Structures are given as structure tokens and as C-alpha cells.
Amino acid sequence: MPIDDTQQPGENGVQLRQALALAWREAEVETEAMRDALMYDNEAVLANHAWLDDFEHHPYDELSGREGGEVLETRLNLLIAMIGIWMRRQTAMPDAVPVTLSEETLAWETSEPPTPGAHVLVELYFSARFPFPLVLPAEVSSVEACEDGNRWCVKTQLMQLSRGTRQGIARVIFRYHRRVLRERHAREGGLDPVSDKQPPS
């Protein structure tokens, strides 16, 4: 998905603003075991997001002239691509919608909104090529008509997230924010002054 140049700090800190595949359903995390299972899967998705994201934006290098670990890395990248192709064929991806994500909140635009005050489980896909979703429990804080009058703007408060999931979301937002700054600076013809160094966990 293309990066949205309008990404800026908001009332909840630095936010990711992008069109992402999203699906939701009204449901509650009723047990500690259910919550632990969701967070375990979320942390696995987020832990692998960085190298999947790197592969998506820098996919293939020529094999010729590469040795040892570089050849292994290239073959691993090919395996990742093949797994992604297989999963896309097995997964019915939801439509991409405008999404705003922070460490504490999630908002999106939709023609079929949930009920204000409802508890929902939101599936959020960072990549259409590698369909591994985050599943985020949230409470709907508001549902308002969008400016175009044709869709609803849904705002939610994220709930019951593990520390690892929150840290992973923060790292994802950091990477997207840095990429926006790099691409904007590159379009302006300057050198890239922005570091890829991740924030401390």
C-alpha cells in the first residue's frame, strides 16, 4: 500500500495513517486464555513485521556475484514470497479502508459501522502481500458521519493489549513514520538524514 503523506502527530502521538485491509466483528475477549492466545499471535506478527516490511519494499536482488549468507538470504526471500503467494490464494482479504492507528486508538472509515459503545475485534492487515493480521480488541468510542457524507468515521479505544503488542505497534508506527520522512525528503532532492534506528523497547 502507498504511504500517506498526510501522516502527522495527532492527539494520541505519532500516528499511522494509511489505507489498510480491515475487518471487524462485535465480540468480547471473555477469558484470560483467549486474550493470551490473541496477544501471542499479535506479538508473533509484529515481531516479524520488520523483515517482511523490508522484503516488501526491497524484494529481489540478483543472485549472481553473491556468496554465503547473501545467497541464503536471497533464497529465504524467495521462500517468503512463495509463502505470501500461497497465503493470498487461501485468504479472502477484506477491503482496504482509510485507517488511523496509534498506540492507544484505532479509527477507520466504513459504510457499515459498529454500534457506539460496542466491544469489537478488529483484524488489521499491514500488507496485502503477506496476509497476517493483527487482531485487536477495542471499544467503539464514537461513530460520526465522514466529511464526504457517504461513510462513517469509527473511533475506538484499544483494550486488553499486552505490553509486547503495544511495543510492537509503536515500532510499526515508527517505521512507517521514518519512511514517510525519507520519501518526502528524497522527493525534495536532499540527502536522507533520517535514521532507521528503532526506539528502545
Question: Is the pLDDT higher at 41 or at 188?
Answer: 41
Place 144 in a pLDDT band, splitting at 50, 70 and 90. very high
Place 71 in a pLDDT band, splitting at 50, 70 and 90. low
Q: What is the DSSP letter of 21?
A: E
At 2 the pLDDT is 35
What is the spatial distance between Cα 72 and Cα 63, in angstroms, rounded to a whole number? 10
Query: The C-alpha cell of 181 is what?
Result: 520522512
Is residue 80 included in any domain, yes or no? no
Is residue 106 included in any domain, yes or no? yes
Q: Which residue has the cell 486474550?
A: 35
Q: What is the mean pLDDT of residues 162-172?
A: 93
Position 30 pLDDT exceeds 60: yes
Is residue 56 included in any domain, yes or no? no
Q: What percent of the chain has pLDDT over 70?
A: 67
At 178 the pLDDT is 81
Q: What is the mean pLDDT of residues 109-135?
A: 90
Is residue 117 included in any domain, yes or no? yes
Q: Which residues, 6+ apart, have CB-to-CB distance to 36 below 8 Å?
A: none
Domain range for residue 118?
9-49+93-187
- Look at the chain and report how many structural domains it folds into: 1
CATH number for the domain that contains residue 182: 2.40.10.220
Q: Are 25 and 94 spatial neighbours (Cβ–Cβ below 8 Å)?
A: no
Is residue 111 included in any domain, yes or no? yes
Q: Are 22 and 97 spatial neighbours (Cβ–Cβ below 8 Å)?
A: yes
Position 7 pLDDT exceeds 50: no
What is the spatial distance between Cα 2 and Cα 5, in angstroms, rounded to a whole number? 9
